[in-house]
Amino acid sequence: MSFNDELVKRFEQMAQMLELTGANPFRVNAHARAARTIDELTSDLREIAGDAKALIAIPGIGKGIAEKIAEFADTGKIGEHLDLLAEVPAGLLRVLEVPGLGPKKVALLWKDLGVEDIDGLKRVIADDSILGLPRMGKKTVENLSASIAFMESSGERLHLGIAAPIAEAIVERMGSVRGVTRAAFAGSLRRGRETIGDIDVLVCTTDPDGAREAFTSMDGVTEVLARGESKSSVRLSLEGIDHARWGGDGSSQVQVDLRIVPEGSWGAALMYFSGSKEHNVRLRERAQKQGLTLNEYGLYPVAEGDDGDEPPQKRGVKAKAAKTEEDIYAALGLAWVPPEIREDRGELELEQTPRLIEVGDIRAELHAHTTASDGSMSLEELVAEAKARKLHTIAVTDHSKSSAQAGGLDEKRLRAQREQIEALRETTKGIEILYGCEVDILGDGSLDFDDDFLAELDVVVASPHVALSQEPTKATARLLKAIENPCVHVLGHPTGRLINRRQGLEPAMDEIIAAAVEHDVALEINAHWMRLDLRDTHVRAAVAAGAKIAIDCDDHAPRDFDNLVYGVLTGRRGWLTPELCVNTWTKSRLHKWLRSKRA
């Protein structure tokens, strides 16, 4: 684990433990914000840990946090973190993850009933002592028991590429129910997060009973957790999904929540339930400064002497804005903020929202495999699929010889493939076929072929596939050496991570990005939902530096082209505009850039 990751872990734990001990909310938020800030950095904080001014210059890091960073660099420990660990039982952090239990309830369970871990929570549920706590009725406790069982059986969070099709199918079903006038998913899924805890679906309807019945009786529902006036919750089986592709099993489930919202509050509800929590807090703070209050029903004026005991919508106060998200942002004097960038990363300081990349902007694919290596499509099938997707360029980039497990090609086989490509060019109109290779970056940073052979290729995607647990300094040097090779066009999936399964390399991304800019190399967002590499925070740093980005699907089968949406979502989360993405360029501009690396 890198220095930054160690800090993130400690500051996240400190925020949670401070909240459990009833500390000042400002202290809690300071540590939570520090964890988020450090998690998004592309440079190693160890290098400036002793420079208080440099640390404090980073937004989200104050004097107290800077002192803790310096202390950790010097000693490998943070005294306050150790003090909190001695005070707060470690098992309580797991109890905090149980749906329906916030910090205040967990603190009561701990201090009043001696609950210190999940087993302790099970004990007070079994002996009914939990029923003596405020707002702990029988139905609430039943839901807690179900949540614990779900946590213990469900395992890891769902990949974006698993959750999105499920949510889309539910929205389609709910949209067809009689009386439903609007339906959409919200939450972290709408923001394009790489993994999803649960799925939130919102509807407007003239027949709430019919909507609830349609939702709770969906195919795959294994348990109905709640069936309330405005909220219903179910457990949904993932049986039937291609689990072999993501490492789950047929017993996995996901919680899905349905919220029925008033038509006139659609925009406010969609904003509120999309989050993020941090973005929403900033919006509410801004509203308060303007004498307004913002909730899931709308943006309301606050009357003088209003004690806030009853929400404005229940007092008949007319909302200043509520029907659309755009109306609410405008009423707060803000530019529209797309859902993907609502993460409290400076988006509310924008005077004008950048035009973020969209799926329709993509016009070329620079990373695709055929049956010559480990793909399932022949050369002809790959080109036909790309043409059907209305791309102007497809690059054939089968694996190089060191990827023996993937049927990698040596020089002789690649030259034979070039002859096939040239023959196909003669008979194929409407799309350019490029001769390329996904070339392995070996452990020392050298490439699988010498430069003379690499220069024969139209496209070189250099990717790490082995030695993916290298320590950061070696990983950085390795990738820098590959970027500096004048024949390389694209640095493919730079860290080699697999989400929830393999951490991959942890290079100094600020150095990688700077080198990519200097040597005119595009950094890849590998769009497969198990990779999404570059990740969103790396994309944000690359965009800020003006680096070129390639969004590629790493196609092995026809369905892999569909992963483009996840790469674009990751690009949008990193504030990527079409101009910086080489896949959006016209054919002449793209090919001119590719040829420039052969000058």
Nearest to 548 by CA among 585, 523, 526, 571: 523
Looking up residue 107, the CATH number of its domain turns out to be 1.10.150.110
- At residue 308, the pLDDT reads 58
Is residue 97 scored above 90 in pLDDT?
Answer: no
Question: What are the beta bridge partners of residue 195?
Answer: 159
Pair 461, 436: CB distance under 8 Å? yes
Q: How confident is the model at residue 103 (pLDDT cuts 50, 70, 90)?
A: confident
Please indicate, yes or no, whether residues 141 and 180 belong to a single structural domain of this protein: no
Please indicate, yes or no, whether residues 249 and 299 belong to a single structural domain of this protein: no
Computed over every residue of the chain, the mean pLDDT equals 92
93 domain-assigned: yes
Please indicate, yes or no, whether residues 182 and 130 belong to a single structural domain of this protein: no
Question: What are the beta bridge partners of residue 396?
Answer: 435
Please indicate, yes or no, whether residues 101 and 192 belong to a single structural domain of this protein: no
- At residue 394, the pLDDT reads 98
Q: How confident is the model at residue 221 (pLDDT cuts 50, 70, 90)?
A: very high
Mean pLDDT of 76-91: 92
One-letter amino acid of 450: D
Tell me the pLDDT tens digit for each residue of 520-566.
999 999 999 999 999 999 999 999 999 999 999 999 999 999 999 99
Please indicate, yes or no, whether residues 143 and 35 belong to a single structural domain of this protein: yes
- At residue 43, the pLDDT reads 84
Terminal Cα distance for the chain, rounded: 41
- At residue 247, the pLDDT reads 41
- At residue 599, the pLDDT reads 73
Please indicate, yes or no, whether residues 383 and 234 belong to a single structural domain of this protein: no
Hunting for tokens 């990527």 — which residue is that?
576
Question: What are the beta bridge partners of residue 539?
Answer: none
39 domain-assigned: yes
- At residue 93, the pLDDT reads 86
Is residue 241 scored above 60 in pLDDT?
Answer: no
C-alpha span between 594 and 165 (Å, rounded): 35
Tell me the pLDDT tens digit for each residue of 109-127.
999 999 999 999 999 999 9
343 domain-assigned: yes
Please indicate, yes or no, whether residues 177 and 199 belong to a single structural domain of this protein: yes
C-alpha span between 416 and 405 (Å, rounded): 20
- At residue 245, the pLDDT reads 42
Looking up residue 338, the CATH number of its domain turns out to be 3.30.210.10
Q: How confident is the model at residue 41 (pLDDT cuts 50, 70, 90)?
A: confident
Lowest mean pLDDT among 297-306, 484-493, 570-579: 297-306
Q: How confident is the model at residue 341 (pLDDT cuts 50, 70, 90)?
A: very high
Pair 545, 514: CB distance under 8 Å? yes
- At residue 310, the pLDDT reads 72
Distances (CA, A) of 487 to 412, 449, 588: 19, 11, 20
Tell me the pLDDT tens digit for each residue of 411-463.
999 999 999 999 999 999 999 999 999 999 999 999 999 999 999 999 999 99
Hunting for tokens 């799925």 — which residue is that?
199
- Residue that terminates a domain, selected from 151, 178, 213: 151
Q: How confident is the model at residue 147 (pLDDT cuts 50, 70, 90)?
A: confident
- At residue 246, the pLDDT reads 40
- At residue 248, the pLDDT reads 44
Distances (CA, A) of 167 to 161, 177, 185: 10, 16, 6
Q: At what angle do helices 536-545 and 25-40 cross, to 10 degrees?
A: 70
- At residue 249, the pLDDT reads 43
Looking up residue 587, the CATH number of its domain turns out to be 3.20.20.140
Which structure tokens are listed for 535?
């990740």
Nearest to 465 by CA among 492, 496, 490, 508: 496
Please indicate, yes or no, whether residues 302 and 254 belong to a single structural domain of this protein: no
Total number of residues shown for the chain: 599
Mean pLDDT of 201-206: 98
Alpha helices in 114-247 (DSSP H): 118-126, 138-154, 160-175, 187-190, 208-216
354 domain-assigned: no
- At residue 154, the pLDDT reads 52
C-alpha span between 374 and 319 (Å, rounded): 58
Rg (CA), the chain: 26
Please indicate, yes or no, whether residues 110 and 17 belong to a single structural domain of this protein: yes
Mean pLDDT of 337-358: 95
Please indicate, yes or no, whether residues 584 and 527 belong to a single structural domain of this protein: yes
- Residue that terminates a domain, selected from 87, 119, 151: 151
3-state class of 172 per DSSP?
helix
Mean pLDDT of 321-332: 97
Please indicate, yes or no, whether residues 22 and 105 belong to a single structural domain of this protein: yes
Pair 209, 180: CB distance under 8 Å? no
Hunting for tokens 């400064």 — which residue is that?
289
- Residue that terminates a domain, selected from 260, 286, 304: 260
Looking up residue 163, the CATH number of its domain turns out to be 3.30.460.10
Q: 301: part of which helix (H) or strand (E)?
A: strand 298-301
Nearest to 363 by CA among 552, 598, 563: 552
Question: 28: how many CB neighbours lie within 10 A of its CB?
Answer: 20
CA torsion angle 152 158 162 165 (round to 10): 100
C-alpha span between 69 and 4 (Å, rounded): 10
C-alpha span between 583 and 327 (Å, rounded): 34
Which structure tokens are listed for 447?
């490439």
Tell me the pLDDT tens digit for each residue of 14-23.
998 998 998 9
- At residue 36, the pLDDT reads 84
- At residue 383, the pLDDT reads 98
One-letter amino acid of 456: E
Is residue 32 scored above 90 in pLDDT?
Answer: no
User: What is the DSSP secondary structure assignment for residue 102, as one 8-state letter?
Assistant: -
Q: Is 203 exposed, middle or buried (0-12, 13-18, 19+ CB in 10 A)?
A: buried
Domain that holds residue 199: 158-260
- At residue 504, the pLDDT reads 92
The string of DSSP letters for 483-541 reads HHSTT--EE-STT--BTTTB------HHHHHHHHHHTT-EEEEE-STTT-BS-HHHHHH
C-alpha span between 476 and 279 (Å, rounded): 33
Which structure tokens are listed for 312?
């404005």
- At residue 313, the pLDDT reads 83
Total tally of structural domains belonging to the chain: 4
Question: 250: how many CB neighbours lie within 10 A of its CB?
Answer: 10
Provide the percentage of residues in the chain whose pLDDT is more than 90: 79
Which structure tokens are listed for 180?
């439903």
- At residue 305, the pLDDT reads 58
CA torsion angle 532 33 197 105 (round to 10): 170
Please indicate, yes or no, whether residues 408 and 488 belong to a single structural domain of this protein: yes
